[in-house]
Structure 1
């Protein structure tokens, strides 16, 4: 079965999903299989996306008009598609930069593999820059202050590091200058943001 997901950024009626719905209907999605959210792509609270993902079954294909309608960012997108793939569900993008993605085909899987590699590269860069920044701060003697304070930079490093199987949590806490309790209050063992972490990053 084909299932379509649509999203517009504003909920005040100034944006419409007509273009997206027309394209999805032409692609073969039935009107009763369309899900729509009116929210920023960066927001976690997208109830129709959650309902759409829950409704999908093995053998189904999720269709989106453009790639940016689905994911908050590259990492979220990659994680979402990996989850769909593990459940035997395909993803097809109709237009835009991700139009070559169709995980029901071999070539489409190859294209998505490139996106996944870019996400991994992005995480590695964040980790590398953050470690370098912390080392530079230590070299300048900036090690005082509140010893267990979590910062946006530390959260990003923790997210990147916790997503790697080889990460030793104790060593990571020493590197960041925080306790395990502080780490797990902000980031889950798999590298996902927890509410405290989300609140801290949103204050930027």
Structure 2
């Protein structure tokens, strides 16, 4: 049975050290144990789990392989590596089932799931629903927390690049190093640099974003728009 593996980490998870190699190693070990002919392991690095699988660069390639009948199994380490929600997962599983493709999840609630079996289909439906319930509860708690902070007069939302939050928890104050980076970006723009060129120069100088990651052209565009 031909199979394809899929691994993903978001930009923030990359910063925190979540390992793509660990995911790939687990997928390859599982394929060997199950006798699957693993064609490749597709990797989406720095991609948010909020995007549907088919909207991700490597996720789109995976979907094409499934649609073209090139594989009979898809292997991922955890539910949230492959899908943004329970409905996203179940919609894909149903579509893949019609093409004779099963989904293998190495760790879903501590168990390995194979959707080609009746118990696997049942378990993934229950666990996917539970996972979505948990996310909704977390979102609800976060919203309540924001309301409380807003009522207390605290700042809500992301702190823009170039500023930091004062001790009062409300006031934005300029951050010297980040303001210098903004000035550099504006200067490069005046010299005719594109957003991609500015991102490349910032990265070359090891100037990182607020979250400590490298710059992309989209982030530079937003930076320049705010600074205008």
Q: Which residue of 2 aligns with 1:25?
A: 28
Equivalent residue runs for 1:75-90 within 5 Å = 75-90=87-102
Question: Which string of whole-angstrom CA distances, capped at 9 and with x for unpartnered residues, describes residues 22-50 of structure 1?
Answer: 10110126675110112010024411011
Q: Which residue of 2 aligns with 1:188?
A: none
Alpha-carbon spacing, 1:18–1:30, altered in 2? closer, same or farther (3 Å): farther
Q: Give the TM-score normalised by the residue count of structure 2.
A: 0.46
Contact 1:23 1:65 in 2 (8 A): yes
Q: 2:11 matched to 1:4? A: no
Alpha-carbon spacing, 1:21–1:81, altered in 2? closer, same or farther (3 Å): same
Structure 1 residue 110, shift from structure 2 partner: 2.1
Q: Which residue of 2 aligns with 1:159?
A: none
Partner Cα separation in structure 2 for residue 67 and residue 12 of structure 1: 16
Contact 1:78 1:115 in 2 (8 A): no
Q: 2:51 matched to 1:48? A: no
The correspondence for 2:43, drawn from 36, 47, 68, is 36
Contact 2:114 2:120 in 1 (8 A): yes
Q: Give the TM-score normalised by the residue count of structure 1.
A: 0.51
SS of residue paired to 2:48: coil
Contact 2:5 2:42 in 1 (8 A): yes
**Higher Rg:** 2
Q: Which runs of 5+ in 1 are unaligned?
A: 123-204
Question: Which string of whole-angstrom CA distances, capped at 9 and with x for unpartnered residues, describes residues 138-165 of structure 1?
Answer: xxxxxxxxxxxxxxxxxxxxxxxxxxxx
The correspondence for 1:61, drawn from 73, 89, 92, is 73
Contact 1:58 1:88 in 2 (8 A): no
How many residue pairs match? The answer is 121
Partner Cα separation in structure 1 for residue 25 and residue 78 of structure 2: 13
Q: Which residue of 1 aligns with 2:169?
A: none
Name the one with the larger strand percent.
2
Contact 2:4 2:71 in 1 (8 A): no
Alpha-carbon spacing, 1:8–1:25, altered in 2? closer, same or farther (3 Å): same
Contact 2:3 2:75 in 1 (8 A): yes
Alpha-carbon spacing, 1:53–1:11, altered in 2? closer, same or farther (3 Å): farther
* Segments ≥4 residues shifted beyond 6 Å: none
Partner Cα separation in structure 2 for residue 12 and residue 66 of structure 1: 15
The correspondence for 1:107, drawn from 114, 119, 138, is 119
Q: Which residue of 1 aligns with 2:208?
A: none
Partner Cα separation in structure 2 for residue 12 and residue 85 of structure 1: 31
Structure 1 residue 2, shift from structure 2 partner: 1.7
